[in-house]
Each structure stands twice: as structure tokens, then as C-alpha cells.
Amino acid sequence: MASDREIKRRIRSIKNIAQVTKAMEAVSASKMRRAQQQVLATRPYAQKAQEVLNFLAYLPQNKRFLHPLLQERPIERAMIILITADRGLAGGFNTHIIRHAVHFSETLNKPTTWVTVGRKGRDFMARYGYPIVAEFTQLGDKPTSLDIAPIARVATDEFVGERVDAVYVCYTDFVNVLRQVPVTKQLLPIEPLKPEVKWSPDYIFEPDPETILDLILYRFVELQILQAVYESIASEHAARMVAMRNATDAAMDLIDELTLSYNKARQERITREIIDIAGGAEALRQALEQ
Amino acid sequence: METLRLEIVTPERLALSEDVRSVTLPGVSGMMTILPRHAPLMTLLNPGEVLIRHPDGEEVAYAVGGGVAEVRPDKVVILADAAEREDEIDIARAEAARQRAERLLKEGVPPEQRRELELTLRKAYARLRVARRRRRRPGLQPRTTEEEGEQF
């Protein structure tokens, strides 16, 4: 049995750890809320861009001319954009998304190149020798479309240059605080949906529908990556928040247990001392009597 | 008074959603003012100034960094790469961007980079023009809208 002084020291150090994890939980909670708002804020643009894209892609004159980003080819080579966090201490967050992405590339069973967003994904891919075309780290907690543009550029260049026939993005979808799901989305080629909204056929276009479609398509790719990054950031903080809460709870349990041992050890020491004293007094009394 | 709904959206936020009297857009084929009941139109936008007239006669300008505008008889939606209201613009930053782009252009760069720099320069010009417009009318109070606050 450890001495009570030793136990006391451990309790103190665990209390410190609990304080740190509690603070990290609070920080993650506020960052997560912010990231959730970011996700929501992209919706109006996404909705409108999709609407315009569908409309333009299904225009009779645009159906004849197939934009390079819409071209479907048999998939010989693929590219995966893997979105992870820069940091750990977020439970299984990074492991899950990396495992999901690797599994996805195995089911594709085609030569795959990788673009990593986030340090953890890059470290893993580099360590196991996966071919990395480009890596992006340190995007921070509030990247803008300007930060995303270079990622989109890599994807569209590789696709238009026919070095890959499909581009996927693997990220962690934020469902709620307790649930974040790794998902894969096809980024390229873009598959326009049939327009739902009834559009007037006599639209005026300036300069022409092809040029507008071209811009919208490139913006759409950027937007999808931006959304995936925002979802991933929200998920990362949610995962870290839960991990830190668990750590705090575990620390509290440990403190309770150690406090019990401490009290026992202290009681034992006191009892032992009393026995010593009582024993000493008894011995003295007997010595005096003789 | 007849109005039309104007929405300015960027990838990061809904920058504006209001009923306005008219809106002037920096279209690729020139500035155009849209009034209610305009014919359906879709146009690319240059980096420039979007000028909004409210029903009460007040004018507000936004600097946009290019994009697409979709015009319907009762509604205008601007899909902008970036949009800042005149009082949100950081003049010092815009000025720094302008000087940097001008200097690099003067020093000479490869053609593909040149096009990008020219675009940056035009965006900086647009922001400066819009910001200075506000400064010339010091009596105006900054307007507040629901999406005030969070700047990305």
C-alpha cells in the first residue's frame, strides 16, 4: 500500500489534469458551435448555385457542349481528398476518417492519388507510402473560400488534365454532438440534377450560358470542399469535446477512488500509531509494576 | 412603391436579403440598373460596386469580387465570390493589396499569374472605391442588418 503522502500527490496531479481537460472541453464546445454556424451559413449559396447549375447544364445549347468538369469517363485512376484535423486528442476522430478513406480506396480498387487536408491525414499517408499529390495544413478553425481555392484548383487541374477520372472527398459529416459519420462524396465529375424549379425559357445571358456555367462549376467545386471542411471542423471539435468530457469524468472517478485509498491509508497510519503508543504505554506500565 | 427582393450570397454567408427599389450591378458588359419587373437575365459580374437604393431613398454600396447575378421580375440573387458592405471594408488592407498587386505587375510576372494579379487589382480598386464613397458622406450612420457581427 502506497503511503498516504504519495496518494495525496497523485490526487493533486489528477485534479490538475481534470482542470485542463475541462477547459479543453469548454473551448471545443464553443469552437464547435461556431463551426456549426459556418456550416449553416454556406447553405443559401449552395442551394442557389446548385439550382443555377442544374438549369444551365440542362439548357439545350449546353447539352451539346459538354463542359470538361461534367465529363464522365470510365474510372481508371481516382483521386481522394482526405480531410482530417491538424491535431489529435479528439478520440477516434482522425483514425475513423483515415480508416474509412483507405477502405474506400480499396473498394475502388484503382490506382489512387491523395490530397490531404490536415496534418494527421498527411502524416498517416506519408508514413505508409501512399502517393500524395498535394497537402494542405494549418487551415485553422475558420477557413474562407480563398483558403479552399488552391485545393479545388488541384482537383480540377488533375481531372481536366485527365490524370484522374474521378475525384472523391472523404470527410467527417457532423450529425450531432454525439454522432459524426465518415462519408465519401463524389466531387468530380459533377453530376447535375434535373432542374426542379420551372425556369423561363427566354432568359437573357451575358455573355453566354457556357461562360456562366463554367464559372458556376468551378465555384461549385470550391463550395463543396468548403462545406466538407466546415463539417469536418465541427465534427473534430464535437469529438474532442466528448473525448475531453470522458477524460474529465475518468479523472473524477480516479480522484474518488484515490481519496478512498487515501482515507484508508491515513486511518491505517493513525491506528498503527495509536497501537504503537498504546503498546508503548502498556510496556512502560508493566515495567513499572515489576 | 414597387420593390424587388435582393439577396447577396457568398460561400461563407448570406450577406444581404432585403426589399429594394433598384440595384445597380457591375455586369461584364457594363453597369446595369435593375428595376422591378425586369426581364429574366443571368449575367457574370466583374469585381466592382453593387449600388442599392432602398424604398426610403437611402443608398448603400457593396463591393463584390465577381460572381453571377440572376435576375427575375421580382427577385435578384447575386452569387458573389466575396461581398462587403461599404462600412465593413478594411481600407488599409485593400490599399495594401492594391500596392502589392501594382508593384508585382510593374516588376513583370508570367502571363497566367498576370491575369490573376489584374483580377486582384480590380478587386482592390472596387473595395477602395466603395469604401471611399462612405467616407465622403460622414453624416451617415452605419446601417445594421440581421447578419451583423460575425466577419469571416
Side by side, the strands of the sheet bearing A112-117 are: A132-136, A112-117, A78-83, A166-176, A179-188
Which has the higher per-residue pLDDT, B53 or B87? B53
Does residue A113 sit in the same domain as residue A62? yes
A66-80, A186-200, B16-30: lowest mean pLDDT where?
A: A186-200
On the question of pLDDT at B24 being above 60, the answer is yes
Chain A interface includes B31 (CB < 8 A)? no
The answer to whether residue A233 is domain-embedded is yes
Tell how strand A78-83 and strand A166-176 pair up. parallel
Chain A interface includes B7 (CB < 8 A)? yes
Q: Name the β-bridge partners of A80.
A: A114, A168
pLDDT reported for residue A63: 60
Taking the CB of residue A96, how many other CB atoms lie within 10 A of it?
18
Model confidence over B78-112: pLDDT tens digits? 999 989 888 888 888 888 888 888 888 888 778 77
- Do B44 and A222 lie within an 8 Å CB cutoff? no
- Of the candidates A42, A52, A226, the beta carbon closest to that of B68 is on A52
pLDDT reported for residue A238: 94
Does residue A233 sit in the same domain as residue A252? no
Does residue A9 sit in the same domain as residue A91? no
Chain B residues touching residue A200 (CB < 8 angstroms): 40, 72
The answer to whether residue A206 is domain-embedded is yes
Does residue A13 sit in the same domain as residue A52? no
Distance from CA of B40 to the nearest CA of A (A): 5
d(CA A114, CA A135): 9
Report the CATH number that the domain containing residue A91 is assigned in CATH: 3.40.1380.10
Does residue A86 sit in the same domain as residue A113? yes
Asked if residue B26 has a cis previous peptide bond (ω within 30° of 0), the answer is: no
ipTM given for this complex: 0.78
Q: Name the β-bridge partners of B47.
A: B65
Model confidence over A131-153: pLDDT tens digits? 999 999 988 888 888 889 999 99
pLDDT reported for residue B144: 44
Model confidence over A21-51: pLDDT tens digits? 999 999 999 999 999 999 999 989 998 899 8
- Is 0.90 topped by the overall pTM? no
On the question of pLDDT at B137 being above 60, the answer is no
Report the CATH number that the domain containing residue A282 is assigned in CATH: 1.10.287.80
* CA–CA distances in Å: residue A119 to residues A16, A54, A245: 28, 35, 24
The answer to whether residue A57 is domain-embedded is yes
Model confidence over A174-224: pLDDT tens digits? 998 889 999 999 998 998 888 776 666 778 888 888 888 889 999 999 999
- Of the candidates B43, B79, B150, the beta carbon closest to that of A49 is on B79
Q: Contact, A195 vs A107, CB < 8 A?
A: no
pLDDT reported for residue A116: 94
pLDDT reported for residue A290: 80
Which domains does chain B show, CATH number per domain? 4-86 (2.60.15.10), 89-134 (1.20.5)
Does residue A254 sit in the same domain as residue A183? no
Residue A253, phi then psi, degrees to nearest 5? -60, -45
Chain A interface includes B87 (CB < 8 A)? no
Does residue A107 sit in the same domain as residue A152? yes
Residue A125 gets the label, from left (phi > 0), alpha (psi -120 to 50) or beta, of alpha
- Per the structure, the complete domain to which residue A232 belongs is given by 38-240
Q: State which residue of chain A sits closest to B9, comparing Cα positions.
A: A45
- Of the candidates A48, A144, A215, the beta carbon closest to that of B152 is on A144
Chain B residues touching residue A211 (CB < 8 angstroms): 44
Chain A residues touching residue B74 (CB < 8 angstroms): none
Chain B interface includes A207 (CB < 8 A)? yes
pLDDT reported for residue A29: 93
Domain count, chain A: 2
- Do A203 and B152 lie within an 8 Å CB cutoff? no
Q: Is the dihedral of CA A192, A193, A199, A201 positive or negative?
A: positive
The grid coordinates of residue B8 equal 447577396
- Do A212 and B44 lie within an 8 Å CB cutoff? yes
pLDDT reported for residue B149: 39
